[in-house]
Structure 1
Amino acid sequence: MLTAFIRPVRGEFILAFVLIALALGLGRFWAFDGGLWTWTGLILSGLLFANAAKNWTKLHALDVPARRWFSGALTTAIIWSIVMAAITSAAALIMQRNSPYYAWYDWFINTEGPVKHVDTNGVEYVLLDMGLSPASVAWTFLISVIAFLAFTFAGIAIGSSTGRWTQLLMLGGSAVIALVLLAGANLYLIWAAEQRAVNAEIVIPISLESWQRFLLVLVVAAAPIITGWWTIRRSLQHPWN
């Protein structure tokens, strides 16, 4: 099934897999914010799958069945997402273990419980809700998997919709909805933190719990995935339109 999807781009697909995996696993140890590397990996994954999916009509002309092609695309996206999420999560969790402040620079990591930290002067103190637990590790992995699935699935939808401007516009609209939802949630948290700084007695959440972050990712990803499903189905049913 996998070959039905990646056969025309097998060489560059394997090369991209290695490069993106290395970037996600090692990049954050070298420079820049950890979250920036994760977002870069997500975007590059989407572009890679879009490039592979644009060959659908050519493969269809070679008598590759639509069901087989889509099964290959979906299976590839799932395997890719699990592997990349595992690499991303492992690197982020190691960074968080080395420095509890890492979580400030990586939106995808989840923390839970207190953790002791020694500053540069050798003074030990406790940071609340900056530690790691089996639950926070699991949430970090699940959120990363959903994020990579959303981007790879969107890439398949974009690639298979090449030249179909109505479908591409709908996909663009769903992306705007996702960005507005994500930006709205983050702007609220910034506002809440500012209000808490002005008046510490105000009881409003200034951060998301792990399950809330996971739910937010699901909600944000819903529009692109639903729209992507419709566009892929339409492209497979009408390969020449």
Structure 2
Amino acid sequence: MKPFLNPFAPALTLAAFVALLIAMPFGRFYSGDGELWTIFGGVALLAMFAYGASKWPALNQLGTSFRQWLKSALIVALSVTGILAAATSASSIANQYRNPHYRAYDIFLVTNNQPDEILEVPRAGQDASTMLATLAVTFAFLFLAAIVGIAIGVSEDAANRWVPLIVGIAVAGLLLGFAYAQAYWGYAETEGMATPSSSVVWIMLGSGALVIACTAIAAIARTPRFVK
């Protein structure tokens, strides 16, 4: 982890991580839609990883290997997003049990639209598979945010890599925006609760994630380096 984290002040980095670890899962208990706190965390991660990746040229001039630096960046991304995704998903699941209407305010929460018969919570709609799906969706979003941040950072001052990256982000944004709209407006009403009507949402989510992942990976792969 050290090569990627070298440009960061340890105390400030730890403080930022702890702040996200508190804000993302607990903020939704007090104010705002749950999904907004998750998106906020994704944007914060994107900015942090973009800053760290922008320091690559200086580290490379000091003899840092790109392979080692990228491996370090990916380890940091996996570690940070894994912890944040677990805490955030647990919070979403808990909020759903507190109030079954919560799912209308958290696009990252996956439910099966069935009542929880053990806890007798009407339409809590969660089981082991949906909880794992919620964790997977949240992790994928946060990890992709970190990867896009790395791609943005290493593409700084490189117009030939910025254009494809912007186009990829725009296309992915359209696909994810369509999925978001379908998730809220393409639902059938059942006893006042919104329920998914088709698999279109998942197809659009998968397509958008694939586009942004491929675009970011391509930008990272084209990063100039002196030491391999």
- Work out whether 1:6 is the aligned partner of 2:5: yes
**Is the Cα–Cα contact under 8 Å of residues 5 and 73 in structure 1 kept in the other structure?**
yes
Cα offset, 1:88, TM superposition: 0.8
Cα offset, 1:206, TM superposition: 5.8
The equivalent of 2:79 in structure 1 is: 79
Aligned to 1:114, the other structure's residue is in SS state coil
- Work out whether 1:217 is the aligned partner of 2:205: yes
RMSD, aligned α-carbons = 2.6
Q: 1:238 to 1:179 in 2, by over 3 A?
A: farther
88, 110, 128: which is aligned to 1:134? 128
Letter of the 2:14 partner, please give it.
I
Identity of aligned residues (%): 26
The equivalent of 1:26 in structure 2 is: 26
Separation (CA, whole Å) in 1 of partners of 2:205 and 2:3? 30
Size of the aligned set, in residue pairs, is 221
Aligned to 2:172, the other structure's residue is in SS state helix
5 Å matches for 1:53-64?
53-64=53-64
Where does the alignment leave 5 or more consecutive residues of structure 2 unmatched?
none
157, 161, 167: which is aligned to 1:163? 157
Cα offset, 1:132, TM superposition: 1.2
**Is the Cα–Cα contact under 8 Å of residues 110 and 140 in structure 1 kept in the other structure?**
yes
Separation (CA, whole Å) in 1 of partners of 2:135 and 2:125? 16
Where does the alignment leave 5 or more consecutive residues of structure 1 unmatched?
118-123
**Is the Cα–Cα contact under 8 Å of residues 182 and 201 in structure 2 kept in the other structure?**
no
Q: 1:223 to 1:238 in 2, by over 3 A?
A: farther
Separation (CA, whole Å) in 2 of partners of 1:116 and 1:189? 22
129, 154, 163: which is aligned to 2:148? 154
The equivalent of 1:144 in structure 2 is: 138
Separation (CA, whole Å) in 2 of partners of 1:30 and 1:191? 26
**Is the Cα–Cα contact under 8 Å of residues 97 and 121 in structure 2 kept in the other structure?**
no
Cα offset, 1:10, TM superposition: 3.8
Cα offset, 1:20, TM superposition: 1.0
Q: 1:110 to 1:61 in 2, by over 3 A?
A: same
5 Å matches for 1:46-195?
46-115=46-115, 126-127=122-123, 130-189=124-183, 192-193=186-187
**Is the Cα–Cα contact under 8 Å of residues 167 and 231 in structure 1 kept in the other structure?**
yes
Letter of the 1:235 partner, please give it.
T
Cα offset, 1:156, TM superposition: 0.4
The equivalent of 1:234 in structure 2 is: 222
Aligned to 2:8, the other structure's residue is in SS state helix
Separation (CA, whole Å) in 1 of partners of 2:225 and 2:121? 61
Separation (CA, whole Å) in 2 of partners of 1:226 and 1:148? 16
Query: TM-score with structure 2 length normalisation?
Result: 0.87
Aligned to 1:115, the other structure's residue is in SS state coil
